[in-house]
Structure 1
């Protein structure tokens, strides 16, 4: 009875977390798609936000599907195919979440860099560079995670299986192939996280410098408004810092699971929930800091109030 109750609670938490995250990311995606369609020259960050929201929707949906034993049963999909497709999509979306967040921090650094800095040379063709980078990241992530398609299986009575979810496992692979994929994945993650940390240091320096200038302007009775560059930099800095913290927690749990090398439901459940926190929280950070969304919400509220007054 306790096990059934625990599974029911875990399932409800999955659905609650995924539901909030999917709703928030969908709202963010729809707004930025509308913005890109309406504006002749959208910001490079609008493209990245679209990608990030889309990837997080896929991540949350695949996690929800993997966690449910009845997923795709009505379609008659075999468990083996289900595990291969869902785990591959989940892994690709998580990898792309890292690379997109990293690219978002790089774009913000380029945007705020002064004209004297060599990075300012990328500003004029930033949208083109972002498009090329996204294409390269998609190609890299699709290829670097291809081993999941081959070595993912549904749970069975076989040995030498490493559990990655409640219903799916990874089989043992050739040592040379394993070293290649592990090295590629490790280098990829270290590179992206390292770039995020470097960009974060630059943004902190920018904010400190901006703060000193603001204090000087206040001392001569000039009160500048909070600049869009400063507000956007703070948003990206919060986003990157939160990602790095959650990534470190995720790596710690993954290492613990790798040491156990067996199916531990509690560890896997906690790992899944922690792994989805960034995908759930990040859209709220981006929505709350975007004045355009706030303006639209104010207009909607005003229209609703006007409509209520007309009815009365």
Structure 2
């Protein structure tokens, strides 16, 4: 086994192990809150689905990439490759959608009651479950076209017309078709990214105005305001982490869509970046929530 394969295999192994541990611990924490009868916030429901989406990405991307990099050859076949890629795309889409929903909901929650968003602020938590269901349905429908072009490597008869992804491959088209295909799949992501940036800008502006307003005023509900401010900053940190990794991943995704024979370095780097947010996000949430960190790390 080449040294570079061993190195990248260990990176994938660490990412997968740390990611599964973090997401499973945080999901167990929220399930523990439900079982003990603690009052659940709408944001907690979104976080549960975010964790599920992240877990799907890690299992469908990290595990096969680790096996391929470490030389553990195995044939998934057409069905296995199609299923893995589909689960990865749906999990990734749900992760993006729920992060977007999380930032928009928090921006609505902390908006002043006197604003024109007051009615939306009152009704928004009621539609969280419906919005999450729509996220799952939309991602499953949008990505249903994706497995059509995925095949198992050992079942390929015309290898010259396929683009190799180490453990699976995809049918190669002309650059115009591949670019249009990439644009179609990226459109929901771009919409979510725009909403996230808009909601984050609103949250930053609201926090700044609130800080100026109460800087010299002592209030009886200071603890509640501190809690909301801390939750908002946590979500801003989570969104910033996502946007940073997403922009890097988008650059590599565009490159992969137009390159006929992507190199080992390009494929490996794109996979590492893709796994970064699902791996890091649960620890961002735990570090900002003292209760979760105490229980999970215990």
The interval holding the TM-score normalised by the smaller chain is 0.7 to 0.9
Question: Structure 1 residue 285 and structure 2 residue 276: aligned?
Answer: no
Cα gap change, 1:173/1:233 in structure 2, threshold over 3 Å: closer, same or farther? same
Q: CA deviation at 1:172?
A: 4.2
Rounded to whole Å, the distance in 1 between the matches of 2:162 and 2:72 is 22
Q: Distance in 1 between matches of 2:259 and 2:174?
A: 21
Q: 1:4 to 1:46 in 2, by over 3 A?
A: same
User: Does the CA contact (< 8 Å) of 1:18 and 1:280 recur in 2?
Assistant: yes
Q: Tell me the equivalent position of 1:190.
A: 190
Work out whether residues 53 and 94 of structure 2, in 8 Å CA contact, stay in contact via their aligned partners in 1: yes
Structure with bigger RCO (C-alpha 8 Å, 6+ apart): 2
TM-score, normalised on structure 2? 0.87
C-alpha separation between the residues in 2 aligned to 1:114 and 1:100?
Answer: 24
CA distance 1:40–1:12, change in 2 (3 Å): closer
Gaps of 5+ in 1: 301-312
Instruction: Name the CA shift for 1:183/1:265 in 2 (closer, same or farther; >3 Å).
Output: closer
State the partner residue of 2:84.
86
Aligned to 2:163: 162
Q: CA deviation at 1:32?
A: 0.9
2:109–2:121 CA contact under 8 A, matched in 1 = yes
Aligned residue runs from structure 1 range 34-183, under 5 A: 34-39=32-37, 41-67=39-65, 68-69=67-68, 73=74, 78-155=76-153, 156=156, 157-163=158-164, 165-172=165-172, 182-183=182-183
CA distance, structure 2, for counterparts of residue 150 and residue 194 of structure 1: 29
CA–CA distance in structure 2, aligned partners of residues 297 and 189 of structure 1:
31
Deviates more, 1:113-122 or 1:234-243: 113-122
Deviation at 1:63?
1.2
Superposition CA RMSD, Å = 2.9
Contact 2:178 2:257 in 1 (8 A): no
Answer with 1 or 2: which has the greater Rg: 1
CA distance in 1, matches of 2:180, 2:148: 15
CA distance in 2, matches of 1:173, 1:131: 39
State whether residues 151 and 173 of structure 1, in contact with CA within 8 Å, keep that contact through their aligned partners in structure 2.
no
Aligned to 1:276: 275
**Distance change (3 Å), C-alpha of 1:177 and 1:261:** closer
Matching of residues 290-301 of structure 1 within 5 Å = 290-294=289-293, 296=295
Number of residue-to-residue matches in the alignment? 291
